[in-house]
Amino acid sequence: MRFTFLFVFIVALIPLSGHTTTIRFVAEDLPPYHYLDPTGKPTGALVEVARQLLAHTGLQGQIEIMPMARALHEMRAKDNTLLLSWLKTPERAQNYRFLGVMCHAQAYLIGLKDRSFSLQDLNSARQHRVSTIRGYYSERFLRAAGYSEDHELVLVSHYQTLWHMLFKGRTDLVLTNAQTINKELSALGLPAEQVERKLAVPAFPSELHLATSLDFNQQQADQLMSALASLKDSGKYQQILSQWQLN
């Protein structure tokens, strides 16, 4: 009788000790990194990297595309959730866990080819209207450089609005990375050949990381970090980026 009770007790504990939490990769709609295909399924270069990470670690996981504000809320509120790509800044590095570089995205001021600007640095662009997305680190970066909504700073809620405003002449320059421009404009039916890089902004952070909260499981974090490093060492990571025409 005592043996039977002990056996039942041990078996009852097995599901608890063997339980594996499903992790979530969340990201905004940002082609070609991560977005929804015509059937509504997540796709993109970093979506493929995330799937490789799951395969390498054996972790159970899902990938979801949602507005950036919601993605940030999910990552902060739920300890099983990671941002598929998030700009690493000194302030964020103190309050969140960054598990590795997913890609690099050099920032530029982008404008229309048929408009000429005399730009030497970021300060010289302040005589023009410069736009970015509200709530992004780029907004804080421009404000720190002296930009203000009372004068030259124009903020919008989404990248679609950003490009329409540029083509309609409601703004002069857009602060963004150059990797996503062609796909974004193509999706909007706008001619990518009519825009060009006007000024590189090297002071703007360029590393997009796999990121999560400090409450995320340490063992799973270590597994993901190791898997990402292995992907890069094997050449599979670069192969994925090359397939999506990303450097």
pLDDT digits (tens, 9 = 90+) for 45-73: 999 999 999 999 999 999 999 988 899 99
Highest mean pLDDT among 29-43, 156-170, 209-223: 209-223
Task: Write down the pLDDT at residue 19.
Answer: 44
Handedness of CA 72, 26, 59, 237 (dihedral sign): negative
| Single residue among 185, 200, 215 that ends a domain in this structure | 200
Same domain, 112 and 99: no
Q: Is residue 9 scored above 70 in pLDDT?
A: no
Same domain, 178 and 230: no
Handedness of CA 49, 109, 171, 113 (dihedral sign): negative
What's the domain range around 42?
9-105+206-243
Same domain, 117 and 229: no
Same domain, 131 and 45: no
Task: Write down the pLDDT at residue 186.
Answer: 87
What integer best gives the mean pLDDT of the chain?
Answer: 90
Task: Write down the pLDDT at residue 17.
Answer: 38
**pLDDT band at 184; cut points 50, 70, 90:** confident
Q: Is residue 2 part of a domain?
A: no
Same domain, 121 and 162: yes
Same domain, 184 and 233: no
CATH number of the domain bearing residue 225: 3.40.190.10
Same domain, 121 and 75: no
Q: Cis check for the bond before 32: say yes or no (omega within 30 of 0).
A: yes
Beta bridge partners of 81: 24
- Does 165 or 137 have the greater pLDDT score? 165
Same domain, 95 and 140: no
Task: Write down the pLDDT at residue 24.
Answer: 98
Same domain, 100 and 136: no
* Cβ contact 27:34 at 8 Å: yes
What is the average per-residue pLDDT within 89-93? Answer: 88
The two structure tokens encoding residue 38: 């015509």
Task: Write down the pLDDT at residue 106.
Answer: 87
The two structure tokens encoding residue 37: 């295909």
Q: How many structural domains compose the chain?
A: 2
Nearest to 211 by CA among 46, 98, 71: 98
Q: What is the pTM of this model?
A: 0.74
Q: Is residue 214 part of a domain?
A: yes
User: What are the phi and psi torsion angles at 135 (to 5°)?
Assistant: 90, -15
What is the average per-residue pLDDT within 6-15? Answer: 44
Q: Is residue 1 part of a domain?
A: no
Same domain, 36 and 117: no
Same domain, 21 and 68: yes
- Does 101 or 157 have the greater pLDDT score? 101
